[in-house]
Structure 1
Amino acid sequence: MEFTIPEKMKALVLFGPNDVRLVEKPVPKPGPGEVLVRVAACGICGTDVKIITKGMPKMPPYGEFTFGHEWAGTVVAVGETVDEFKVGDRVAIEAHKGCGRCENCIDGKYTACLNYGRLDKGHRAAGMTVDGGFAEYAVHHVNSVYKIPDNISFNEATYVTTAGCALYAIDKSGGYIAGDTIVVIGPGPIGLSVVQCAKALGAEKIILVGTREDRLNKGRLLGATYTINVREEPAPLDKILALTNGKGAERVFECAGTSDSFELAIKSAKKGGVVVLVSFYKEPVTANLDYVVLNQISLLTVRGEGNRNCQRALSLMAQGKIDAKPIMTHAFPLEEFHTALDYFVNRKDGAMKVVVNP
């Protein structure tokens, strides 16, 4: 199988804060260990919004940088030494490719690579420190590329990054979740992904906490045993304790990113339990850490979709144990990116995960 690869392609380029333009730029060429992918779909993530509005450390210069880190497509060329993939393969990516040489990468913690942003050392993060997928073509290293099973569409395949983040949070919390009670705070794409991944892995009770009834309803569809709307429930902690026989939950996943949600998370964990911080926080958080220490609660964090959890997400999707369709709500062509971004940011028409198709 051969593809005709043009010299130029359409791509979104960030020219400055809130200045995204559709331009023509050269089609990249795959280097050693890399594949060139004809991008079929790229999802919008909250991190993209931060990149657009504020920029990001180690990102390429304004006027050159194409963002987007949740993408999938077809391999159209391979670089030197690549025999893991062939032209015509349908693939999805995870954003992070560690340097492979620092102690964190050697320990498997490549999303916390000590050479973050150092291309000369081998690190790359698609759509963050190197060009990403809001373009007709993109390159990525084979370490972070996975074949898409036949029963998964390209749009659905962009979900593996979101689901991979959720699985990494569960992985970090201790992994073996069967029979546990969990609390998930924040029914956004990541929180809802934690719900359905935890359900697939055998959690017994899943308590989902949020402020938007439409998303809580979706959470019930995806496996939440109980939902709590904090706008309607005056004492959400009391409700959580009542549902856990006064003990609290073995694991709590904080996916909302506020001081109130952080405080609720630590108070919802049982003695000796685990709280995983999955969200980013816009402001410094104030909380009663004495409570954490006195009750021997473990506070853990995750960044990204480490430990091959994108590959695990693809497997669970192929098995029918997790489903992208309820979370992938809208799709737009590349030329309508600004409309897609508006839908995503302002949650228009119930928008949750919004996909762009180059």
Structure 2
Amino acid sequence: MLAAVLYGQEDLRLEQQAPPVPGPGEVLLRVTAATTCGTDLKVWRRGGHAKMLKPPTRFGHEGAGHIAALGDGVTGWQVGDRVVANNSAPCMDCFFCQRQEYSLCTQLVFNNGTFAEFLTIPAPIVQHNLLPIPEGMSDAIAAMTEPLACVLHGLSRSNIQSGDRVVILGDGAIGLMFVAALSLGYGVGGRGGEAERTKNEERKTELLRSSFFSLPSRQHANMPCEIFLFGGSSTRLQVGEAFGASQGFNHRQVADVPGLVKSLTNGWGADVVIEATGVPSVWEQAIACVRPGGTVNLFGGCPRDTTITLSTEQLHYSELTLKGVFHSTPRHVRDALAMLAAGDRPFEKLISDERPLKDLQQTFYDMRDRTVIKVAMRP
């Protein structure tokens, strides 16, 4: 089979490998769509990731397809089932899992290698984060479950209340997903942040019971928050407006972003600021945009060993809340798939193109140059 292997900084190679064989509790997935991700781009450019992988390694972490084979002991699934597999699963037993802080699990199992014809799904993911693709949903849309789950986890930790003015810095796929989910009311007033109590035997039916299948579609005029999106692409800002942004601003045309935010918020600053670029200077800008008593979600992962400068006076006397948010949880994986299935926002606008796997290297050059948002690779 053909598979992408990351060897180091911008060193991505397509290789012929023997198809994997699923072990006990595992599932073999025939990948039909693997979407590219901003995290993949950062890992490709930096040559590694602090948590998810170390080169050389199979590459890619967003994927959907058909079950090609079942390992010993797997029940509840059949060969041919259309499924989406999250790229991780918690252990459910450690200190953090016992406190339902699953994204902090000390034994978090990661799975990479969606840019390939076949992918083995580890047993913990089969148990906790393998889901059926709803009828009528394309595999490419289903593959975006993982990044959207991270976004929903981020919103659930952002202290957003109805009527808040929220600034989102970054018009990549993640920033645009934040706009879409927030415009639907996710995370507002704590929605989506309640304790998770997933059970293995309910992994299929829980999707159908997700709150998002009963969430009424909202018109932009009735959004729960004002959403101000800042980015560097007029085309992407237009997508943001289609997703529900109140206003979009090209930061290249704004001399003073914090000053503009204050002018939009009666001189105070935003109630909540979400940083979705992973650039240290933008982390600092996010803190400069928030009002006293507000919350800053530092969502974008910066390069290893980077630091920012922080005013202790501002942090202390303005009573700011700074949140670092990482990854997702089983609850948010299910909510993400349900949100995609509901079709209340045109998530297909995030997929700029569909390409064969042989074009993967060029696709990363195009992502670097920002000529595409996401691309669905077809092994």
Task: Specify the TM-score bucket, using the shorter chain as the normaliser.
Answer: 0.7 to 0.9
Cα gap change, 1:74 to 1:177, in 2 (>3 Å): farther
Cα gap change, 1:159 to 1:61, in 2 (>3 Å): closer
* 2:293 partner SS: strand
Picking from 108, 120, 144, the partner of 2:129 is: 144
1:186 aligned residue? 170
Task: Tell whether the 8 Å contact from 1:189 to 1:352 is kept in structure 2 after alignment.
Answer: yes
2:83 aligned with 1:78: no
1:229 aligned residue? 250
* 1:215 partner SS: helix
Please give the root-mean-square deviation of Cα atoms over the aligned residues, in Å: 2.1
Post-superposition shift, 1:280?
A: 1.5
Deviation per CA, 1:75-110: give whole Å up to 9, x if none: 122223322332222111221212332212232333
Task: Tell whether the 8 Å contact from 1:177 to 1:198 is kept in structure 2 after alignment.
Answer: no
Cα gap change, 1:247 to 1:33, in 2 (>3 Å): farther
Task: Tell whether the 8 Å contact from 2:129 to 2:330 is kept in structure 1 after alignment.
Answer: no
Q: Find the aligned partners of 1:322 and 1:287 in 2 and give their Cα distance.
A: 37
1:120 aligned residue? none
Q: What amino acid does structure 2 have at the position aligned with 1:32? A: P
2:32 aligned with 1:40: yes
2:92 aligned with 1:107: no
Q: Find the aligned partners of 1:327 and 1:289 in 2 and give their Cα distance.
A: 39
Q: What amino acid does structure 2 have at the position aligned with 1:183? A: V
Deviation per CA, 1:186-231: give whole Å up to 9, x if none: 1111111101110011432001122322222221121110122222
* 1:344 partner SS: helix
1:125 aligned residue? 110
Unaligned runs of at least 5 residues, structure 2? 186-222
1:249 aligned residue? 270
2:135 aligned with 1:154: no
Post-superposition shift, 1:10?
A: 1.8
Q: What amino acid does structure 2 have at the position aligned with 1:246? A: G
Q: Find the aligned partners of 2:67 and 2:98 in 1 and give their Cα distance.
A: 28
Q: Find the aligned partners of 2:11 and 2:251 in 1 and give their Cα distance.
A: 36
Q: What amino acid does structure 2 have at the position aligned with 1:153? A: S
Q: What amino acid does structure 1 have at the position aligned with 2:176? A: L
Q: Find the aligned partners of 1:114 and 1:39 in 2 and give their Cα distance.
A: 28
Task: Tell whether the 8 Å contact from 1:183 to 1:251 is kept in structure 2 after alignment.
Answer: yes
1:55 aligned residue? 48
Task: Tell whether the 8 Å contact from 1:42 to 1:155 is kept in structure 2 after alignment.
Answer: yes
2:299 aligned with 1:278: yes
Task: Tell whether the 8 Å contact from 2:284 to 2:308 is kept in structure 1 after alignment.
Answer: no
Q: Find the aligned partners of 2:178 and 2:64 in 1 and give their Cα distance.
A: 22
Picking from 215, 221, 224, the partner of 1:203 is: 224
Q: Find the aligned partners of 2:235 and 2:34 in 1 and give their Cα distance.
A: 25
Post-superposition shift, 1:307?
A: 4.5
Cα gap change, 1:274 to 1:16, in 2 (>3 Å): closer
2:272 aligned with 1:291: no
Q: Find the aligned partners of 2:346 and 2:98 in 1 and give their Cα distance.
A: 32
Cα gap change, 1:85 to 1:297, in 2 (>3 Å): farther
Task: Tell whether the 8 Å contact from 1:328 to 1:354 is kept in structure 2 after alignment.
Answer: yes
Q: Find the aligned partners of 1:148 and 1:103 in 2 and give their Cα distance.
A: 32
Q: Find the aligned partners of 2:266 and 2:347 in 1 and give their Cα distance.
A: 33
Q: Find the aligned partners of 1:215 and 1:252 in 2 and give their Cα distance.
A: 19
Cα gap change, 1:185 to 1:18, in 2 (>3 Å): closer
Q: Find the aligned partners of 1:216 and 1:289 in 2 and give their Cα distance.
A: 34
2:91 aligned with 1:91: no
Post-superposition shift, 1:327?
A: 0.9
Picking from 164, 170, 184, the partner of 2:155 is: 170
Q: What amino acid does structure 1 have at the position aligned with 2:333? A: C
Q: Find the aligned partners of 1:257 and 1:56 in 2 and give their Cα distance.
A: 13
Q: Find the aligned partners of 1:180 and 1:318 in 2 and give their Cα distance.
A: 27
Q: Find the aligned partners of 2:49 and 2:277 in 1 and give their Cα distance.
A: 21
User: TM-score, normalised on structure 2?
Assistant: 0.81
Q: Find the aligned partners of 1:155 and 1:219 in 2 and give their Cα distance.
A: 20
Q: Find the aligned partners of 1:21 and 1:262 in 2 and give their Cα distance.
A: 33
Task: Tell whether the 8 Å contact from 1:181 to 1:203 is kept in structure 2 after alignment.
Answer: no
Task: Tell whether the 8 Å contact from 1:228 to 1:236 is kept in structure 2 after alignment.
Answer: no
1:264 aligned residue? 285
Q: How many residues align?
A: 334
Picking from 291, 310, 323, the partner of 2:333 is: 310
Task: Tell whether the 8 Å contact from 1:67 to 1:126 is kept in structure 2 after alignment.
Answer: no
Deviation per CA, 1:302-350: give whole Å up to 9, x if none: 11222532221111121122332111112210122112222222223xx
Q: Find the aligned partners of 1:329 and 1:253 in 2 and give their Cα distance.
A: 24
Task: Tell whether the 8 Å contact from 1:110 to 1:306 is kept in structure 2 after alignment.
Answer: yes
Q: Find the aligned partners of 1:16 and 1:239 in 2 and give their Cα distance.
A: 40
Task: Tell whether the 8 Å contact from 1:271 to 1:296 is kept in structure 2 after alignment.
Answer: yes
Deviation per CA, 1:1-20: give whole Å up to 9, x if none: xxxxxxxx221223444332
Q: Find the aligned partners of 2:93 and 2:245 in 1 and give their Cα distance.
A: 41
Deviation per CA, 1:138-185: give whole Å up to 9, x if none: 1222122111111210111121122112111101113x6443221101
Cα gap change, 1:320 to 1:16, in 2 (>3 Å): closer
